[in-house]
């Protein structure tokens, strides 16, 4: 079983609320455990994908009680960008661990 030496990755982004400007964006992050996963297996990667998705939803779904198309679009873009950033960090950590 190949484990990544890092205990966790941090899923983070500059979450821009619809009523805020980019300059006043709030920085949020949520730790996502990966040390217990074997990322060389489909199962390990699937579990990590679910963890990253949940963390991104926690960060980005800031208006879940509102049905506003603009807000939903911002939330979806936020989740997409957050998940992509998290996967990029996982890849960097795995490459570093192989050295």
Domain boundaries in the chain? Answer: 8-98
Residue 63's pLDDT band, with cuts at 50, 70 and 90, is: low
pLDDT score for 66: 64
Angle at 20 (CA atoms; ends 14, 22), nearest 5 degrees: 45
Q: Is the pLDDT of residue 4 over 70?
A: no
pLDDT score for 59: 85
pLDDT score for 28: 77
Q: How far is CA 47 from the centre of its chain?
A: 13
């Amino acid at each position: 079983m190949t484990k990544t030496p890092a205990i966790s990755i941090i899923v983070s982004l500059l979450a821009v609320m619809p009523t805020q400007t980019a300059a006043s964006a709030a920085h949020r992050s949520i730790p996502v455990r990966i040390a217990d996963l074997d990322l060389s297996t489909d199962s390990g990667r699937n579990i990590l994908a679910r963890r990253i998705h949940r963390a991104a939803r926690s960060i980005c779904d800031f208006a879940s009680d509102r049905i506003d198309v603009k807000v939903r679009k911002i939330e979806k873009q936020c989740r997409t960008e957050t998940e992509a950033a998290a996967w990029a960090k996982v890849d960097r950590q795995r490459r570093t661990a192989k050295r």
